[in-house]
Structure 1
Amino acid sequence: MIYQTYTPRNYMQIAQLSKVSKEDLHNIDVVSRVLPFKTNNYVVSELIDWDNYQNDPMYILNFPQKGMLKPEHFTRIEKLILNEEDPSVIKSASEEIRKELNPHPAGQAHNIPVYMGEMMQGVQHKYNETLLFFPSQGQTCHAYCTFCFRWPQFVTTDSIKFAMKEIENIIGYIREHEEITDILITGGDPMVMKASVLDTYVSALLEADLPHLQNIRIGSKTLSFWPYRYLTDPDAEEILGVFRKITDAGKSLCFMAHFNHPRELETEAVIKAIKKIRETGAQIRTQSPLLKHINAKSGIWATMWKKQVQLGMIPYYMFIARDTGAQEYFGVSLDRAWDIFRRAYSSVSGVARTVRGPSMSSSPGKIRIAGVTDVNGEKVFVLEFIQGRNNDWVGRPFFARFNKNAYWLDDLEPAFGADSFFYEDELAELLLN
């Protein structure tokens, strides 16, 4: 299959849209002026059930829906379109709306490290052991998830993007920080890069003599949205060769695959692509947010984890939808999230219970909802840090008052009459510094 992309400029060329109502087409037009929209011929032809598109999880995952914008935001853009306002006016209004959508959730701007007196734009170092690298050539994807928490990477406002072209400073920074054992190459999707570009970065890391750097991770949605990247793309074999170079050098290669629904695991192409990647010695770990309208049922998750294990992958994370972009459309309450996770987790065998969650990637760290219980007559959430800005926070249980309407950490209050959570004073100091 030859890759064909569809964006706001040409999506009406998709033949299957003849089955979509005029109202839904109008909604796509309005919402895509604010949030990024991109799909491709594989998604359109092999993943979406067009006879039931309004309820189809893959359609909702790719095509903008009216509810993804607040009513006042939708109405504002809709009126500008209907009044045939100048595109510059619509663009300006869209940018104003984006600024209200929390473009950098979890305090991402606080994660940018300093090297040789300069901020390293395109790099994040939040947790001691792991450095995130956003190569500038990888700041797009083969298709965009409508829930994406990194949606600012795909809009034209450069001031809210994370990207970096140079690898030399990264190597220098890693050399100075021996606590770093992992580098996560992410985006966007780094697998949109040509094999030669990825090889440039990987070879530089491998040749730099960084013995403490043990694991190279690649975060990617390609297995779901374009598995032909590893099968028929012109440089498919070269990409797999870069993977082999990493494992042949004695480094661990972790391919962090994003799967949001079991349907993404069913095509012949994805099954073949998974096998190709595993043959390079790479380990594939899987993760996804919990998403209303797409996968907010325990049976969906249990099926997905079982299938992933069957295909040789390792279930890794269930995330809570982040407090950005279309969270109000996709969000699931913390109480319900824990119940969905517990039911799914309890219905799979031990080999699938490698998964952790439901986890919030919040400003202080990755916080897991460990349960809901009663302590001294008070109903509480039991919370635990999986990762923290301070490693001393990790693994320490703490409690929040139960709130059935809580969707994120900011919605929670300390239990038992406490004024603050145990980490809050130290977090304020860390962010200040």
Structure 2
Amino acid sequence: MTFRARSFGHARRGTIMIDSKKYQVFTLKNFAKIPQVQSSLTKDQINSIEVVGNVLPFKVNNYVVDELIDWDDIPNDPIFQLTFPQKKMLEPAHFNEMQQVLSQGYTQPELKLVANNIRSKLNPHPAGQKDNIPVLGEHKLTGIQHKYRETVLFFPSNSQTCHAYCTFCFRWPQFVGMDEMKFAMKETDLLVQYLQKHKEVTDVLFTGGDPMVMSAKKFSEYIEPLLNADIPNLQTIRIGTKALGYWPYRFINDKDTDELLRIFEKVVNKGIQLAFMAHFNHPAELKTMAVQTAIQRILNTGAVIRTQSPIMNRINNSVDVWADMWKQQVKLGCIPYYMFVARDTGAQDYFAVTLEEAWKIYRKAYCNVSGIARTVRGPSMSADPGKVQILGVQEINDEKVFVLNFIQGRNPNWVGKPFFAKHDSDAIWLSDLEPWSGEDQFFFEEEMEQTNLLMN
């Protein structure tokens, strides 16, 4: 079936011809029935997916399977690595333990107990996320995080899933039935009250999961209270989403697509910037007609699209990949925003790129694009004290050091203040680094220990 999609908004009108697609999901229950899995994977590979998929979340869909993965390049295809669990994503002892309990026919509660024991060893809440939950009066706002002065994260309870799951996801505990690990809020009333009280907040980031799994009606129920309330400090509503990469048809021919896009327009017409924070991890995600059409329809509502991704071994640890990705994004009207370092959780060791390698890839890719793409920042670690950028490696008194900088900090006064760490060619995270100055701690650590900033 061919779908005739009207370009949305007032920037450009016309007709786009694109085949429609009905969303079909694959999980542990039915992935083995995928024709490409049957023809391209060995029994051992299928077994590994089943074992690892009982610990880490696994969900993929027909768009990813049919249009993104190169099944002639298995298992090395980056989108396959991005979406299908791999054996080495677990430590050998953990893999063997889970494989054994699966082969012995454990009951579902027994299986969950073993899986949760393994999960608890994978740092399920990195960067002190539970410390970011604010309080309003006597209410602990478990669906909100407030780490940086100007920005509040909001976790709608209806966005606690995604169109497909990334194997590197740092919020993986929310998708594996660990209810005590979830951040979620059903109503926006408390969010509105919090924003009215905290006038320093200018940005609200809708996150999850993925807010774009919600119906337009449900999404509107979260957005409308923000638009109708008296919150003069609210300047930007952000949507953190992977939908453009995993299900661009959400913005083309889902049953309520036009209604959803009208909500985007409504936000913009209210004088609030709508920033679509799109996660793209590889250039392959930008090259289908579906994603290019979806991007245009979103931009035509007046929203802006900013792009971000972690740098990951086996997926995008290449200068050419990053330069190509940024060029493609700019060509399509998107704004490159962040290169992140893969967080210290889940399958981090599988995807880890050293800080030095990440910086070298970033620098060389940055040098290979025009100034219009140099809006991107990185490589950045979203660590407990804040977003720490690796500015480079330099020599001071014949000694190599890392030059670091806060892009964001729990204390805003830390931002833009360069500091140094001893060079460590094996370091993959901030916790691997030591101060260069001879001090026992970095300049921010004493304050981090004394107080949990911005929580009251």
TM over 0.5: yes
Check the 8 A contact 1:399/1:414 in 2, yes or no: yes
Q: Pick from 208, 222, 240: which aligns with 1:187?
A: 208
Q: Is the 8 A contact 1:253 1:282 kept in 2?
A: yes
Out of 336, 351, 362, the residue aligned to residue 315 of structure 1 is 336
Deviations 1:230-267 (A, max 9, x none): 11100000110110000011100000000000000000
Q: Secondary structure at the match of 2:74?
A: helix
Shift of 1:86: 2.5
Quote how far apart the aligned CAs of 1:155 are.
1.2
**Structure 2 equivalent of residue 17 of structure 1:** 37
- 3-state secondary structure, aligned to 1:302: helix
2:399 paired residue among 372, 378, 398: 378
Partner of 2:176 in structure 1?
A: 155
- 1:126-154 alpha-carbon deviations (Å, 9 max, x no partner): 00000000000001000000000010111
Moved over 6 A (4+): none
The residue type equivalent to 2:161 in the other structure is T
Return the letter of the residue paired with 1:320.
V
Rounded Cα–Cα distance in structure 1 between residues aligned with 2:182 and 2:29 = 22
- Distance in 2, Cα, partners of 1:280 & 1:360: 32
Deviation at 1:224, TM superposition (A): 0.3
Match of 1:337 in 2: 358
C-alpha separation between the residues in 1 aligned to 2:273 and 2:452?
32
Q: Distance in 2 between matches of 1:67 and 1:141?
A: 24
Aligned equivalents of 2:91 and 2:97: distance in 1? Answer: 10
Q: Match of 2:112? A: 91
User: Is it true that 1:34 corresponds to 2:19 in the alignment?
Assistant: no
Describe the superposition over 1:68-110 as per-residue Cα deviations: whole angstroms up to 9, x where unpaired. 1111110100111122222322211001111111111000000
Q: Counterpart amino acid of 2:128?
A: G
The whole-number CA distance in structure 1 between the counterparts of 2:400 and 2:451 is 31
Question: Alignment partner of 1:315: what SS?
Answer: strand
Deviation at 1:194, TM superposition (A): 0.5
User: What pairs up with 1:136-151 in 2 under 5 angstroms?
Assistant: 136-151=157-172
State the shift of 1:430 in Å.
Answer: 2.0
Q: Does the alignment pair 1:306 with 2:320?
A: no
Within the alignment, does 1:169 sit opposite 2:190 as a pair? Answer: yes
- The answer (yes or no) to whether the contact 1:254–1:284 under 8 Å persists in 2 is yes
Alignment partner for residue 390 of structure 2, among 334, 354, 369? 369
Any idea what SS the aligned residue of 1:2 has? coil
Match of 1:392 among 383, 400, 413: 413
2:452 match? 431
Q: Which has the higher contact order (CA 8 A, sep 6+)?
A: 2
Alignment match, 1:8: 28
Give the percent of matched residue pairs that are identical in Structure 1 and Structure 2: 56
- What is the distance in 1 between the residues matched to 2:343 and 2:358? 13
Counterpart code for 1:364: P
Per-residue CA deviations over 1:270-320 (Å, capped at 9, x if unaligned) read: 000000000000000000000100000011000000000000000000000
CA distance in 1, matches of 2:250, 2:162: 12
- Greater Cα offset, 282-291 or 116-125: 116-125
1:76 aligns with 2:108: no
Paired with 1:430 and 1:21, the residues of 2 have a C-alpha distance of 53
Query: Mind listing any 5+ residue stretches in structure 1 that lack a counterpart?
Result: none
The one of 209, 212, 216 equivalent to 2:233 is 212
1:431 is paired with a residue whose SS is coil
For residue 222 of structure 1, the aligned residue among 243, 248, 256 is 243
Q: Does 1:106 align with 2:118?
A: no
Q: Partners in 2 of 1:85 and 1:426 — Cα distance?
A: 48
How many positions carry a matched residue from both structures?
433
Equivalent-residue separation in structure 2 for 1:64 and 1:55 (angstroms)? 12
Between the aligned partners of 1:145 and 1:207, the Cα distance in structure 2 is 35
